[in-house]
Amino acid sequence: MSHPTVSAQPTAAPIPLREVAPWAAFALLLALVVLYFVSSEQGAVSVFSGAGVHEFLHDGRHLLGFPCH
């Protein structure tokens, strides 16, 4: 007598949007802060005076294609 084989397929549980939304908003805010510092800090709308932030992010600017001098 042969027994039928049962193969259980794993299914992914849905993630509620209420749990993802705060993390997505935080990631977006963090990305915008990083983009600001890499792209426009030490320019016309600089928050910090001096060249410390510019020099710290100098290579990152060129890596991402932002001109700085």
DSSP characters for 2-69? ------PPP-PPPPPHHHHHHHHHHHHHHHHHHHHHHHTTTSTT-SS-SSHHHHHTHHHHHHHT----
* Cα distance from N-terminal residue to C-terminal residue, the chain: 81
Residue 10 inside a domain? The answer is no
Residue 3 inside a domain? The answer is no
Structural domain total, the chain: 1
CB 54 within 8 A of CB 42: yes
* Residue pLDDT, tens place only, 29-44: 999 988 877 776 666 6
Residue 9 inside a domain? The answer is no
Residue 8 inside a domain? The answer is no
Residue 32 inside a domain? The answer is yes
Segments forming the whole domain that contains residue 40: 17-64
Statement: residue 26 has pLDDT above 80 = yes
Residue 69 inside a domain? The answer is no
Statement: residue 60 has pLDDT above 90 = no
CB 39 within 8 A of CB 66: yes
pLDDT of res. 42 = 62
Residue 4 inside a domain? The answer is no
Residue 6 inside a domain? The answer is no
